[in-house]
Amino acid sequence: MPPEKTDNEKTFTIVDRRISQKSEAEKEKLLQEEKAGVQKQEAPATLIQGEPKAAQAPPPLEVNFSSFMLSLATSALIQIGDMADPATNKQEKDLTSAKQTIDIIIMLKEKTAGNLSLEEQRLVESLLYDLRLRFVRQSKTA
């Protein structure tokens, strides 16, 4: 039995949301709650004092090593000219910046050696392989 609380003490409840510890019904309920939470975030633009409010961008993804590497790779693809710049909607080559971004990924790979999961190692290797090929291909056409 838990100890009795006094008026000055605050209590809190810990809820285990790990899916692996739940029954099938509880897992389904958690998944539905998460989907409902995502749907709430995707609300349409609203009016504030008669003026339309710009639709807000979705909340950023969890920042971790993999998402950071993917962000750098996307920047490199834009700089290589294989993707349109989201700001201008134009494809432009900036091979100097692309080389620098690829070098940053290589540096991070070297500095994090031995500290990455197998999945993260494979991601970095795959990104570097793809970016190097694209860089060489674009360098030859420049």
Alpha-carbon dihedral angle through residues 10, 16, 17, 22, given to the nearest 10 degrees: -150
Q: Determine the straight-line distance between the first and last CA of the chain, rounded to whole angstroms.
A: 75
Q: Quote the pLDDT of residue 118.
A: 95
At residue 26, φ and ψ (nearest 5 deg) are: -70, -40
- Could you give the CA distance from residue 71 to residue 41 in angstroms, rounded to a whole number? 23
Chain segment 11-27, per-residue pLDDT in tens: 666 655 555 555 667 76
Six-digit token string for 31:
């998944």
Q: Quote the pLDDT of residue 141.
A: 84
- The answer to whether 44 touches 55, Cβ cutoff 8 Å, is yes
Six-digit token string for 97:
């910046």
- Could you give the CA distance from residue 99 to residue 93 in angstroms, rounded to a whole number? 11
pTM: 0.57
- Could you give the CA distance from residue 33 to residue 69 in angstroms, rounded to a whole number? 30
- The ranges of the chain with pLDDT < 70 are 1-24, 27, 30-31, 34-61, 142
Q: What angle do CA 34, 121, 134 make, to 5 degrees?
A: 100
- The answer to whether 77 touches 124, Cβ cutoff 8 Å, is no
- Could you give the CA distance from residue 100 to residue 49 in angstroms, rounded to a whole number? 47
Q: Quote the pLDDT of residue 29.
A: 72
Q: Quote the pLDDT of residue 43.
A: 42
